[in-house]
Amino acid sequence: MPRTPDYFTAKTIIITGAASGIGRATANIFAREGANVVCADVNEAGAKETAAQVNAKGSQALALKVDVTKRAQVDDMVKRTVDAFGKVQFLFNSAGAAIRRAKFLEIDDALMEKTFDLNVKGTLYGMQAVLPHMLREKFGVIVNVGSMAHRRGGPGSSIHYAASKGAVVTMTMGVAREFAQQGIRALSISPGPIKTPFQDAAATSPELVQKFLDDVPMKRFGEPEEIGELVLFMCSDACPFMTADTVYVNGGGGWR
């Protein structure tokens, strides 16, 4: 929660991957706090549904169909945000996926390229598009989604994904340090297994899901809202000295 009452009122956040899961949960949490929420996703219908939920809470929403692997679309997303709301204070790069599970020797060029296009370039494009606007105001917070996979390496199923998320965590740290004296903070969140459509999209087997669960001392998956509340805290005025770090949210597991 913010230290200042009404801190988020009339401020604007862009959320990629807002059609479902962590992105949608975060959109609703920021709406609860009175923020303007730009709901961006390649799934246009899902983005519009999230925007409707934001509006129902009394906040202003803008739903945009955006493929974050396309720089021009990301640039246009930020332009339309500024046109609609004047400024953009926060960016949450939630869009990301493992594309599909694969053993290391099964990772081909297409899978590696698609994974890095989505997770790394999608994050890069968002930050590069929004930073000039934040720098003019000498204020901005960027939160990117990493993963526990970057600490584990993803052996047997997702080394390609782990490598891409390692790049996200490193890139976030670099951006945070480069712009630290210009009013910009950048952080990443490295979740353990979260109850979202992610696992289905990656065709995660029931056996692997159970393996993930067995590794969590709390014996449950996280909820998307538990990540969204952390994003809210990171963007708030409650932690102005916090930057360049990744925060692990994993129920105590994910280290093996």
Among all residues, which ones are annotated catalytic? 161
Q: What is the C-alpha radius of gyration for the chain, rounded to an integer number of angstroms?
A: 17
At 188, give phi and psi (nearest 5°): -130, 160
| Residue (of 91, 83, 39, 90) closest to 60 by Cα position | 39
Paired with 102 in beta bridges are none
What Cα–Cα distance (Å) separates residue 37 from each residue in 89, 129, 178, 200?
11, 17, 27, 27
252's CB contacts (< 8 A; 6+ apart) are 216, 217, 218
**Rounded CA separation 203/222 (Å):** 19
